[in-house]
Amino acid sequence: MEFSYIFWSVIGWMVFWAVAGSLVTRRVYLRRDLDTSNAGFVGAMMGAAAGPFGLAPLWIKTPEIGKRLLVIPPLAAVGLIGIAFGLADPSNNCVSNGSFVASQIMNGLIIGIIYGFMALGLSLIFSILGVVSFAHGEFYMIGGMIVYFMTAVWFPGVNPAIAILAACAITFALGAAFERLFLTPMYEGKIDRPVEYGILITFGLAFTLQYFVQAVAGANPFKARRFIDFPILRLPSVEDPWLIKTSRGNMQLFDTVSISNPRFTAAVMCILVLCALLYFLHRTWTGKALRAVSQDREAAAIAGINPDRMNMLAFALGGMIAALAGAMLVQAFSWLPQVGAIPAMRSFVIVVLGGLGSLPGAFLGGIIVGLVEAAGTGCVPDTQRAASYIPAYGMIVLTLTLLLRPTGLFGRRFAGGAHGKF
Amino acid sequence: MNNWRISAVSFAAVAALSAISLSGTTALAASCPIKIGGIAPLSAPGAVGAGEGMRAAMLLAEKDINKAGGILGCDVKIVIGDSEGLPEKAKALMEKFITQDGVVAVGGAYHSSVGVGSKDIANDRHIPVVFAETWNDTITGDKQKYIFRIAPLSSWASATLWQAALLVPNIKKVAILTENTDYGIPAAAETTKGLLSGGVAAETFGVDIGTQDYSGIVERIKAGNPDYIIVLATGEAGYNFTQQAADAGMGPMDIPFQAGQVSLESKAYWENVPDGNMAFVQRIGTPPTLWSEKALALNEAYMAATGRGVIESYAMEAYDSVVILAQAMNEAGSTDGPKIVTALENISYDGVLGRIYFPYGTQKDPSADSKGDEWWHQWPDPAMTMIQYQKEGQNSVDAPIVWPDVYKNGDAIYVK
């Protein structure tokens, strides 16, 4: 970094006013008997973005904290960090190379969509059952394994779509069976400590699945072939393909943004399935029943919904979503029985960041983590360390968010302690 | 009973118990079968494919040793342990080998961090170790009495990388992807130093072992517009990076590209890196065309036992690391650590890698020949070559050796 003092001075200024804003704003709102639930967060963001020039009007007028105040100051704070970084390190690729920035944003978005999709399954399970599934990564791994073995070993040449459907069906059935066999004691009052039971039993499932797969499939890495090759395109013309230029495994947009085939197809599939899932949750009776149970189990039961069935459906669906993410990524990453560990850890971070039990929060959290990781990898000046800190970038965002908004971005007060029972 | 008699009996009892306890280790070690520990990475984030190859080779070594009469009239049992490629696991494994399994010596090991992490425990307990594939210079550089190595030093291996890189036409800038381990960090530093000595700049990108998604790093490397890429990541990380670089139009078919050593395992390489043709790969050990009868026989047995392709260098090293210990014990006539060390320091073992010996140790310090400390208990002659895949699906054994001239049997093809 050429002028690091500029960057660190601005960061110091922002931190000072963020801390002051957080502490004082909450007190000011409290003294005037106003809602303080988001006062600390808004005060911190306003302090970071505008320092005393933003905080003074906030403390004087104490406006009602609406969406505008929740969104604009954080974005302004991020923008300020960007400007400080740009002034401090003008030769950095993230400052001077537009196509690099566009590529990193696209990379972050694509991987973020996949992260968010996987975390969605975890969030769905938590919102209905109140259980954090520690076997989420193993469902992801099994999804990829099934697709690999179907397309490369058992039925070489089979259409990958069939293998993906099979992976979904098998993991759905596995999730449903596990929920019926091992999680029902939680709802029936047979377990004194359901939270711990849920953690331990899903841990047990994770180890069982991982070592079972290792015993059956071995521990050598493998990878499925690309599901589809991009058609060779040169648009608008062969001579000057500035719009789109494709090879079998890569697509280049506007001569700048480069997207690899497996990641592109995975992200597109995730978006399509997300749309289908949203339709299912908002437009079908079963989906509405699921949402009703997540909001109020007792009221849902009075309305004729069987919460037990919803428990089973949520766990099976959550596992299937993870498996689908794995099924799509087995063409992008080398696959091993332990491949689910890192994505599962990331999903936990995303779910807490987005707000426990919040589906939009999980998806948005995934995209935020993806973008932050891409920014960190691309912009941290020390190349030796930039990529080493990948797991840390998400944790920094999570820590800051929880510090200012303990419920996460879209968190709500979950019916704590329900854990699948009334 | 008189007091003096009581005292005498007590003294005798204490003396007898002391003698038994003092000879306990030897008694345990001498009991049949004689156990030798074998370290291999058998689960992630270690290089699992390599670990499975090493395990198979060490079990073949067990079979061959027993067929040849065992050690001191006893059968040998190789106790395989999983290091996971992690130093903390390696420490626990070494403790287990010594305190629970009762091994008298240890062979194998793939990751440098495993060697660095576990060597002190073995040395403190007087258990000889012959490390098979751990490159970090400090493993022998600490001049520990019980630690030996038949793998090349990291600095030697790095020299292969940068010397081969300097042959790339018009090379000005190199990107190095390295794992943040006891192998990767010094290897990257030594390679950078070597490249700089040839007037070539290098930029190092560090990643944690087990990283899967390299898209951000690939873009960053791409933005730097390097003329050559060197991968110093072990295990599937090497596969992931190489294929993702290829997807982004910066793979071995796009610019000169040296893939990780794990790429020698041809079947896994082509499955995981279908766009990996033209990759350069460093090979440790004598080229297959120069293999001895012993090496050829091991290769046959290995392929039959594992169903894999031709035996990899790390599997050969694992085999030799165990068999040389057996020979040392037979020559020492004992399983005592100090006696095994003396035998190893005087050994001349015709292994599958070649004739193995250790010119420097307690009898002759490396400084006597103006050598660095890392030469301590270090086999000086491991062959290092650079091959290049020049056909899709090619076996690494059939791939031409493009460097150094002494082994060269084909010309390098530089893409771009």
Within a 10 A sphere around the Cβ of A254, how many other Cβ atoms? 11
Judge: B44–A339 Cβ closer than 8 Å, yes or no.
yes
Chain A residues 185-224 with CB within 8 Å of chain B = 214, 218-223
Q: What is the DSSP letter of A260?
A: E
Judge: A249–B208 Cβ closer than 8 Å, yes or no.
no
Give yes or no for residue A284 having a pLDDT over 80. Answer: yes
Residues 6+ apart with CB under 8 A from B344: B128, B130, B148, B324, B325, B328, B358, B361, B377
Which residues of chain A neighbour B46 with C-beta distances below 8 Å?
none
Which residue, among A174, A210, A215, A224, has the nearest Cα to A335 in the 3D structure? A224
Element (H or E) spanning B342, and its range? helix B337-345
Give yes or no for residue A280 having a pLDDT over 50. Answer: yes
User: Which amino acid is located at B212 in the chain?
Assistant: Q
Judge: A339–B48 Cβ closer than 8 Å, yes or no.
no
Disruptive mutation site among B176, B220, B239 for chain A (greatest number of A CBs within 10 Å): B220
Judge: A378–B210 Cβ closer than 8 Å, yes or no.
no
Disruptive mutation site among A220, A245, A335 for chain B (greatest number of B CBs within 10 Å): A220
If phi > 0 it is left, if psi is from -120 to 50 it is alpha, else beta; for residue A206 that is alpha
Which residues of chain A neighbour B49 with C-beta distances below 8 Å?
219-221
Tell me if A114 sits within 8 A of A367, measured CB to CB: no
Tell me if B356 sits within 8 A of B150, measured CB to CB: yes
User: How far is the alpha carbon of B88 from chain A, nearest alpha carbon, in Å?
Assistant: 18
Max Cα separation, chain A? 71
User: Which amino acid is located at B149 in the chain?
Assistant: R
Chain A residues 218-257 with CB within 8 Å of chain B = 218-223, 225-226, 247, 249-250, 252
Judge: A260–B235 Cβ closer than 8 Å, yes or no.
no
Disruptive mutation site among B215, B234, B242 for chain A (greatest number of A CBs within 10 Å): B215
Rg, C-alpha atoms of chain A: 24
Which residues of chain A neighbour B208 with C-beta distances below 8 Å?
387-388, 390-391
Judge: A385–B274 Cβ closer than 8 Å, yes or no.
no
Q: What are phi and psi of A297, to 5 degrees?
A: -65, -40
Judge: B204–A378 Cβ closer than 8 Å, yes or no.
no
Q: Which residue in the set B215, B240, B275 is minimally distant from A249, CB to CB?
A: B275
Measured CB to CB, residues of chain B less than 8 Å from chain A are 42-45, 48-49, 51-52, 180, 203-208, 210-217, 219-220, 222-223, 235-236, 239-240, 243-244, 246-249, 268, 271-272, 274-275
* Measured CA distances, B124 to A291, A323, B94, B359, B363 (Å): 62, 47, 11, 23, 20
Domains of chain A with bracketed CATH: 4-90 (no CATH), 98-228+261-404 (1.10.3470)
User: How far is the alpha carbon of A376 from chain B, nearest alpha carbon, in Å?
Assistant: 9
Judge: A390–B208 Cβ closer than 8 Å, yes or no.
yes
Judge: A336–B44 Cβ closer than 8 Å, yes or no.
yes
Judge: B249–A258 Cβ closer than 8 Å, yes or no.
yes
If phi > 0 it is left, if psi is from -120 to 50 it is alpha, else beta; for residue A403 that is alpha
How much is the pLDDT for B183? 83
CA dist., res. B182 & res. B185, Å (int): 6
How much is the pLDDT for B310? 83
CA dist., res. B209 & res. B43, Å (int): 13
At A191-206, the pLDDT tens digits run 888 888 988 999 999 9
Judge: B44–A111 Cβ closer than 8 Å, yes or no.
no
CA dist., res. A110 & res. A263, Å (int): 7
Taking the alpha carbons at both ends of chain A, their separation in whole angstroms is: 57
Disruptive mutation site among B180, B218, B219 for chain A (greatest number of A CBs within 10 Å): B219
Domains of chain B with bracketed CATH: 30-153+293-375 (3.40.50.2300), 155-288+384-403 (3.40.50.2300)
Percent of chain A with pLDDT strictly greater than 70: 97
CA dist., res. B278 & res. B409, Å (int): 16
Q: Which residue in the set A107, A250, A337 is minimally distant from B219, CB to CB?
A: A107
Judge: B272–A334 Cβ closer than 8 Å, yes or no.
yes
What number is the average pLDDT over the span A84-107? 90
Judge: B48–A336 Cβ closer than 8 Å, yes or no.
yes
How much is the pLDDT for A98? 87
If phi > 0 it is left, if psi is from -120 to 50 it is alpha, else beta; for residue A158 that is beta
Which residues of chain B neighbour A387 with C-beta distances below 8 Å?
205-208, 211, 214, 216-217
How much is the pLDDT for B12? 53
At A288-321, the pLDDT tens digits run 999 898 888 889 999 999 988 999 999 999 999 9
User: Which amino acid is located at B3 in the chain?
Assistant: N
Which residues of chain A neighbour B223 with C-beta distances below 8 Å?
93, 97, 100
Give yes or no for residue A413 having a pLDDT over 80. Answer: no
Q: What are phi and psi of A84, to 5 degrees?
A: -60, -40
How much is the pLDDT for B25? 42
Percent of chain A with pLDDT strictly greater than 90: 57
Sign of the Cα torsion A101, A105, A108, A110 reads: negative
Reading the block at residue B412, the tokens are 């390098």
What number is the average pLDDT over the span A130-144? 93
Q: Where do the H-state alpha helices sit in A37-135?
A: 39-50, 52-61, 67-88, 93-96, 98-129
Sign of the Cα torsion B221, B222, B224, B230 reads: positive
User: How far is the alpha carbon of A152 from chain B, nearest alpha carbon, in Å?
Assistant: 10
Nearest residue of chain A to residue B184 (CA atoms): A384
Judge: A334–B239 Cβ closer than 8 Å, yes or no.
yes
The whole-number mean pLDDT for each consecutive block of 10 residues of chain B, a chain of 416 residues, reads 52 48 43 94 82 95 96 95 93 96 96 94 96 92 96 89 94 94 88 96 90 89 94 88 90 94 87 93 86 93 88 92 97 95 96 94 94 94 92 91 90 91
Q: Does ipTM surpass 0.90 in this model?
A: no
